[in-house]
Structure 1
Amino acid sequence: MKKNKAVFLDRDGVLNKELGDYVCNLDDFHILEHNFKPLKELQDRGYLLAVITNQGGVAKGWYSEETLGKMHARLLETYEANGIHISDIYYCRHHPDYNGKCLCRKPGSLMLEKAMARFDVDVSKSYFIGDNERDMIAGEAAGLKGILIKSDQPIGEVLHLID
């Protein structure tokens, strides 16, 4: 049986506007519309799309899992309305200063490994796009090709790096 190829995406600074710290409420959660077209293209090229994100603000008490759920629902609904299906959102709600070290928080690769197993991903044909070095470390640990972008940079500018 043929395995899936996938593009995993960090959230803040990749799919929604980077605020420099945590996005703590729904009013500040601004989806980067310039990524609709390139993500639709990746989907049309057969790539499964999934989100891998650290959300340590939950551990810090800066926002609740309920608020985070509303942000993620908006993200999924907005992309779906633009013809883009995001298969799932994996998030780590821990923060080392509050919960100690965990295995899921990037630069750890556990979230990626779980998603890759769940969706039967061919690691040799898959990528991780992020705007932080910890995204690249996590992707490399999971065997993925990492693509580092600047925060809020259009994904269309790096499409040529994806086969």
Structure 2
Amino acid sequence: MTQNPDAPPPHSSACPDRLIVLDRDGVINHDSDAYVKSLAEFIPYPSAIAAIARLSRAGYAVAIATNQSGIARGYFNDAALEQMHAHLTELVENAGGQLSGIAYCPHGPEDGCDCRKPLPGLLYQIQDALALPTLSGSWMVGDSLRDLQASETAGCRSVLVRTGKGSRTEEKRQYAEDTPVFDDLAAFADWLLA
């Protein structure tokens, strides 16, 4: 997991109910069926950057768990991904917030890893990096069914946003009925901080 060097050091008294894990593509930035392959194609939602900063300033640890199978498929490499994530980190910091870490799965669907969502491995990487005893009570915000499935398996509270693939996910209704649905990450932040 990529950890923000400016974030407070992990400690065992971290509180799971103050952790918010975000999917990346479709939640923080525009998604693409052709994959987000470069910094030029990485287009964040301004409201999402502001929401991350607001949550961070309110005392939440905000981390990212993202499938990036474009690496396994040869569409881009780790260096290109690191460039995107460095830019994202900078945007959040310029807005007055901070990211506690970014966990990503570089594998393809057939690679047999334990980190590709809907499996919960990325969430467990974040748990370990932040030295949390459990993920119970933490939040996972996503736009796809596999985000919600990973969240459920790891014991997080799931949230669906309608950005990215979220509206299509909502139409299919294959997730738990009590999953809250918001227009975007900013609307979730408004609700949580109200």
Same fold (TM over 0.5): yes
Alignment-derived partner of residue 187 in structure 2 = 157
Shift of 1:69: 1.0
Q: Which amino acid aligns with 1:106?
A: K
Shift of 1:70: 0.7
Q: Which has the higher contact order (CA 8 A, sep 6+)?
A: 1
Shift of 1:162: 7.0
Structure number with higher helix proportion: 1
TM-score w.r.t. the length of structure 2 is: 0.76
Residue 111 of structure 1 is aligned with which of 96, 110, 122?
122
Residue 3 of structure 1 is aligned with which of 14, 19, 24?
14
Number of aligned pairs? 161
Residue 41 of structure 2 is aligned with which of 22, 28, 31?
28
Alignment-derived partner of residue 81 in structure 2 = 68
* Counterparts in 2 of 1:83 and 1:161: CA distance versus 1, 3 Å: closer
Q: Which amino acid aligns with 1:115?
A: I
Partners of 2:14 and 2:85 lie apart in 1 by: 27
Residue 102 of structure 1 is aligned with which of 89, 92, 113?
113
Q: Which amino acid aligns with 2:161?
A: I
Q: Deviations over 1:123-154 (max 9, x none)?
A: 33310001001000001111000101122553
Alignment-derived partner of residue 59 in structure 1 = 72
Consecutive unaligned residues in structure 2, runs of 5 or more = 1-11, 165-182
Partners of 2:96 and 2:109 lie apart in 1 by: 37
Shift of 1:118: 2.0
Partners of 2:31 and 2:126 lie apart in 1 by: 24
The percent of aligned pairs where both chains have the same amino acid is 33
Partners of 1:38 and 1:135 lie apart in 2 by: 19
CA RMSD of aligned residues (A): 1.9
Q: Which amino acid aligns with 1:111?
A: L
Partners of 1:22 and 1:15 lie apart in 2 by: 14
Residue 158 of structure 2 is aligned with which of 146, 151, 155?
146
* Counterparts in 2 of 1:65 and 1:9: CA distance versus 1, 3 Å: same
Q: Deviations over 1:80-104 (max 9, x none)?
A: 111110011100000024xx22101
| More deviation, 106-115/120-129 | 120-129
Structure 2 residue 135 is matched with structure 1 residue 123: yes
TM-score w.r.t. the length of structure 1 is: 0.90
Consecutive unaligned residues in structure 1, runs of 5 or more = none
Partners of 1:53 and 1:20 lie apart in 2 by: 15
Is the partner of 1:16 in helix, strand or coil?
coil
Alignment-derived partner of residue 43 in structure 1 = 56
Is the partner of 1:8 in helix, strand or coil?
strand
